[in-house]
């Protein structure tokens, strides 16, 4: 599984313009929640995509810089 392999060397986050319930349903169906360090939906932001807020919040939460992603 791709997420399992990637999570061994990288912090993984999901940023989606979907509502939180859809995000949770998808990660549960795909069984990938345990591989993700951070999840964020459009309900967790003030400004939806394409505004950069959702991506910036991922970077801050993961403690990474844009050049490292």
pLDDT of residue 1: 85
Q: Count CA within 13 A, CB hemisphere, residue 33.
A: 8
Helices (H), the chain: 2-7, 20-30, 53-62
Please tell me the pTM assigned to this model: 0.87
Buried-state track 43-58, b at ≥16 Cβ within 10 A, e below 16 = eebeeeeeeeebbebb
Residues of the chain with pLDDT under 70: none
pLDDT of residue 62: 95
pLDDT of residue 49: 84
Q: In angstroms, rounded to a whole number, what is the distance separating the alpha carbons of residues 18 and 5?
A: 25
């Amino acid at each position: 599984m791709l997420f399992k392999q990637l999570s061994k060397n990288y912090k993984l986050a999901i940023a989606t313009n979907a509502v939180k319930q859809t995000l949770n349903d998808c990660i549960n169906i795909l069984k990938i929640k345990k591989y993700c360090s951070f999840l964020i939906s459009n309900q967790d932001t003030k400004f939806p995509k394409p505004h950069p807020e959702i991506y910036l919040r991922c970077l801050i939460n993961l403690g990474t810089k844009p050049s490292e992603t």
